[in-house]
Amino acid sequence: MARKKIALIGAGNIGGTLAHLAALKGLGDIVLFDVVEGVPQGKALDLSQCGPVEGFDTKITGSNDYADIAGADVIIVTAGVARKPGMSRDDLLGINLKVMKAVGEGIRDNAPDAFVICITNPLDAMVWALREFSGLPHNKVVGMAGVLDSARFSHFLADEFGVSVKDVNSFVLGGHGDTMVPVPQYSTVNGIPVPDLVKMGRSTQERIDAIVQRTRSGGGEIVALLKTGSAYYAPATSGIAMAEAYLYDQKRILPTAAYVEGKYGVDGLYVGVPVVIGAGGAEEIVEIELDETAKANLQVSVDAVKELLVACKGIDSTLA
Ligand code: APR
């Protein structure tokens, strides 16, 4: 069987980490693409030289030519600019929208059969624009945000309860911004819902509320510490988990920025919801019952995403 081909558009911090992880996991041959000449080639060479030590024979190449992504099975997009301290994800809109146009057209012309995972921020608007510019089916273009946001939530919950992260399963819905919706109701420690753990005296509602808030600003906390860019290890790990779910037809239910039409009262919008990811891409959106607070919070988040789309359409009239 031919090896799978993974194309990574954007060879910056996340792109390089994605390539490293994909090589270590043997997902397939890797093409790192970037507009900057030398960077993808240099990173590809450096990463290839891990092979003799790690024992992988993955072919890793760097490129500035979209023709080299031809035939890619999975494409992960991190092209664009990242946040600096004081910036919100939404501040990136204008610059990254132009980048999504170039990337979307590059994918449309060279690898229209790929499963595309967008990581570029502001995520929910960029994945929508990327889908519009590429013209690929909605089920083949998704955004990575919820896996990362849930990982952050799980990490904080594990710390709070003093348990292994392996036993924590948490859920974050909505847009990938300050209005995201961590859902304690569906977050568990080995099956025990967080609200029950509060009732059992293992934490307090105030502490859980603080964790929810820290999860919402989890990316900003790292930007403020790094000062020169944004998080990349956990975003890359999360993107790879989604790629694996597709490549190995795992049918995992992952919180994914997917195109929602009808469910959750959302009509024609990319927003974070639980999605079955398998060989068919985003195979099914799972509609879970939400309590009134989560429902109201989700609506706020959906409205925030809608505002971003209006802004996108204002910047690029072809999207209107
Ligand atoms: N086509 C391809 N690559 C591009 C383009 C383009 N049109 N424009 C910029 N790039 C490249 C840059 O040259 C850089 O190498 O995208 C890369 C981005 O890398 P970083 O600046 O290191 O950013 P990173 O931390 O990887 O984050 C990328 O993901 O999480 C989001 O908010 C984050 O939007 C940001 C993106």
Q: What is the DSSP string of 287-298?
A: -----HHHHHHH
Of 144, 162, 183, the last residue of a domain is 144
Helix or strand or coil: residue 141? Answer: strand
- Give residue 12 CA to ligand 1 midpoint distance, Å: 6
Bridge partners (DSSP) of residue 149 are none
pTM for the whole structure: 0.97
Atom of ligand 1 lying closest to residue 89 CA: 32
Residue 303 lies in a domain: yes
Report the first-to-last Cα separation within the chain, whole angstroms: 43
Q: 9, 78, 238: which to mutate for ligand 1, most atoms within 8 A of CB?
A: 78
Which residues are documented as binding site for NAD(+)? 10-15, 34, 96, 119-121
Atom of ligand 1 lying closest to residue 103 CA: 1
Q: Are residues 190 and 105 in the same domain?
A: no
∠ CA 147-149-154, nearest 5°, is: 90
Q: What is the residue whose two structure tokens read 């944004």?
A: 230
Of 144, 161, 189, the last residue of a domain is 144
pLDDT of residue 91: 86
Q: Which residues are catalytic?
A: 176
Q: Alpha-carbon distance 19 to 59, whole Å?
A: 11
* Domain ranges, residue 89: 5-144
Question: Nearest C-alpha to atom 13 of ligand 1 is from which residue?
Answer: 36
Q: What is the residue whose two structure tokens read 């292994």?
A: 164
- Give residue 57 CA to ligand 1 midpoint distance, Å: 27
Atom of ligand 1 lying closest to residue 121 CA: 34
Average pLDDT over residues 19-43: 98
Longest Cα separation, the chain: 58
pLDDT of residue 19: 98
Q: Are residues 54 and 173 in the same domain?
A: no
Residue 318 lies in a domain: no
Average pLDDT over residues 233-248: 98
Q: Are residues 210 and 64 in the same domain?
A: no
Number of CB atoms found within 10 A of residue 289's CB = 8
pLDDT of residue 244: 98
How many Å separate Cα 102 from the centre of its chain?
19
Residue 320 lies in a domain: no
**66 neighbors 109 (Cβ within 8 angstroms):** yes
In the chain, beta strands by DSSP E? 5-9, 29-33, 60-63, 74-77, 115-118, 141-143, 168-169, 172-173, 181-182, 188-189, 192-193, 252-261, 267-278, 281-285
Question: Nearest C-alpha to atom 29 of ligand 1 is from which residue?
Answer: 120
Exposed, middle or buried, 268 (CB in 10 Å: 0-12/13-18/19+)? Answer: exposed
Q: Are residues 110 and 236 in the same domain?
A: no
Q: Are residues 198 and 237 in the same domain?
A: yes
Indicate if the pLDDT at residue 276 is higher than 90. yes
Q: Are residues 242 and 136 in the same domain?
A: no
Q: Are residues 152 and 285 in the same domain?
A: yes
Going across the sheet that includes 115-118, the strands are 60-63, 29-33, 5-9, 74-77, 115-118, 141-143, 252-261, 267-278, 281-285
Please enumerate in sequence order all residues whose Cβ is within 8 A of that of 183, keeping only pairs 6 or more positions apart, or say none: 170, 171, 172, 173, 290, 294
Which residues are documented as binding site? 10-15, 34, 83, 89, 96, 119-121, 152
In this structure, the residues whose C-beta lies within 6 A of any atom of ligand 1 are: 9-15, 34-36, 39, 78-83, 92, 96, 99, 102-103, 119-121, 229-230, 232, 235
Please enumerate in sequence order all residues whose Cβ is within 8 A of that of 68, keeping only pairs 6 or more positions apart, or say none: 7, 31, 33, 61
Q: Are residues 138 and 156 in the same domain?
A: no
Residue 291 lies in a domain: yes
Convert the pLDDT of each residue in 125-157 to its tens digit.
999 999 999 999 999 999 999 999 999 999 999
Which residues are documented as binding site for substrate? 83, 89, 121, 152
Residue 37 lies in a domain: yes
Question: Nearest C-alpha to atom 14 of ligand 1 is from which residue?
Answer: 12
Token pair of 10 as six digits: 């954007």
Atom of ligand 1 lying closest to residue 232 CA: 25
| Cα within 13 Å of Cα(261), Cβ side | 6
Question: pLDDT band at 120, cuts 50/70/90?
Answer: very high
pLDDT of residue 224: 95
Predicted-complex ipTM score: 0.99
Q: Are residues 214 and 296 in the same domain?
A: yes
Indicate if the pLDDT at residue 262 is higher than 90. yes
- Say which CATH number the domain at 288 has: 3.90.110.10
Q: Are residues 155 and 22 in the same domain?
A: no
Q: Alpha-carbon distance 57 to 55, whole Å?
A: 7
Q: Alpha-carbon distance 301 to 154, whole Å?
A: 21
Q: What is the residue whose two structure tokens read 């959302």?
A: 266
Q: Which of 108, 133, 105, 130 is nearest to 117 (CA)?
A: 130
| Cα within 13 Å of Cα(139), Cβ side | 12
Residue 23 lies in a domain: yes
Q: Which of 218, 216, 240 is nearest to 230 (CA)?
A: 218
- Give residue 11 CA to ligand 1 midpoint distance, Å: 7
- Give residue 145 CA to ligand 1 midpoint distance, Å: 16
Q: Are residues 207 and 123 in the same domain?
A: no
- Give residue 82 CA to ligand 1 midpoint distance, Å: 6
Residue 233 lies in a domain: yes
- Give residue 34 CA to ligand 1 midpoint distance, Å: 8
Q: How many structural domains are present in the chain?
A: 2
Residue 117 lies in a domain: yes
Q: Are residues 113 and 123 in the same domain?
A: yes
Q: 20, 32, 35, 68: which to mutate for ligand 1, most atoms within 8 A of CB?
A: 35
Of 100, 127, 144, the last residue of a domain is 144
Convert the pLDDT of each residue in 57-99 to its tens digit.
999 999 999 999 999 999 999 999 988 888 888 888 999 999 9
- Say which CATH number the domain at 63 has: 3.40.50.720
Average pLDDT over residues 104-118: 98
The per-type count for the chain, helices as H runs and strands as E runs, is: 11, 14
Question: Nearest C-alpha to atom 4 of ligand 1 is from which residue?
Answer: 79
